[in-house]
Amino acid sequence: MIKVASYNMRKGIGTDRRRSPERILDVLREIDADVIALQEADRRFGERACVLTPHLLADHSDWQAVGIAKRAQSMGWHGNAILVRKSARIDACEAIHLPALEPRGAVRADVRTASGCLRVVGMHLDLSGLWRRKQASAIIGHVQDCAAQMPTVLMGDLNEWTAAAGCLRDFARDHDFAVTGPSFHARRPIARLDRIMVSRDLRIVDCGVHASAAARKASDHLPIWAMLDAI
């Protein structure tokens, strides 16, 4: 059994407009997932510096960041990052270039844990439905083109407001969705913008939205999570 989570951390800026990396880390500790896909993990301008610094992760958490960053001060690629347990082994990782009018990307890691091997893709898709579908196609194609196939989890902020259309229909051809519930806006969640999708060699045992008091303040999105088992 493995626990995965996805969290748009909004560059550490909470609903009270304060930036607090420590508060984000508190929420991640509450979730206590083995693998976490983060969106908006880096600042937007300048050196795109990471919000959760290497010091914070090394000294105050059980996770390590997958080495996908293209900039010295960043954690991720266009704000997308993946955290895994320090006990896990990262067999491969890669930034995925996505078609877009504005900078967008996804990230992939092949992770070996005590529960087995898992391919993880983290993403933050476009606000435009047309570009979301193009980006979904690029992600699906990337996964299909990987030399070795393995159980796969796709997760992130899809920015899709509709229930079963657009990019959701594209992903659904080969993946099952965790029914996690609304995660946006954190103060009053009404939209299921954040999604966890799994290949059909994985079983979703349990899933949900993490709606603690800390999570409602730490970002404008609530984290989502799922417990997975191999079939």
Q: List C-alpha distances in Å: 210 to 2, 64, 118, 184, 225.
A: 17, 21, 23, 12, 7
Q: Does residue 60 carry a pLDDT above 80?
A: yes
Average pLDDT value for the chain: 95
Q: Is the pTM of this model over 0.85?
A: yes
Q: Residue 117 belongs to a domain with what CATH number?
A: 3.60.10.10
**Cα gap 163→13, rounded to integer Å:** 28
Work out how many domains the chain is built from and give that number. Answer: 1
pLDDT for position 72: 82
Q: Does residue 164 carry a pLDDT above 90?
A: no
pLDDT for position 102: 81
**Cα gap 196→48, rounded to integer Å:** 26
Q: Does residue 47 carry a pLDDT above 90?
A: no
**Cα gap 59→214, rounded to integer Å:** 21
DSSP string for 52-119: S-HHHHHHH-SEEE-S--SSTT-SSBTTBEEEEETTSEEEEEEEEE---SS--EEEEEEEEETTEEEE
* pLDDT confidence bin for 108, thresholds 50/70/90: very high
Alpha carbon 71 to chain centroid distance? 19
Do 18 and 210 touch, CB atoms closer than 8 A?
Answer: no
List the one residue out of 105, 137, 143 whose CA is nearest residue 124: 105
* pLDDT confidence bin for 231, thresholds 50/70/90: confident
| Sole residue written with tokens 């995660």 | 183
Pick the range with the lowest mean pLDDT from 4-8, 41-45, 124-128, 173-177: 41-45
- The range of the structural domain enclosing residue 20 comes to 2-230
**Cα gap 68→147, rounded to integer Å:** 19
Q: Does residue 24 carry a pLDDT above 90?
A: yes
- pLDDT, mean of residues 7-36: 97
List the one residue out of 105, 46, 108, 53 whose CA is nearest residue 79: 105
User: For 71-93, what is each residue's pLDDT tens digit?
Assistant: 888 999 999 999 999 999 999 99
For the chain, the distance separating the N- and C-terminal CA atoms, rounded to the nearest angstrom, is: 11
Helices (H), the chain: 21-31, 54-60, 129-145, 167-172, 213-218
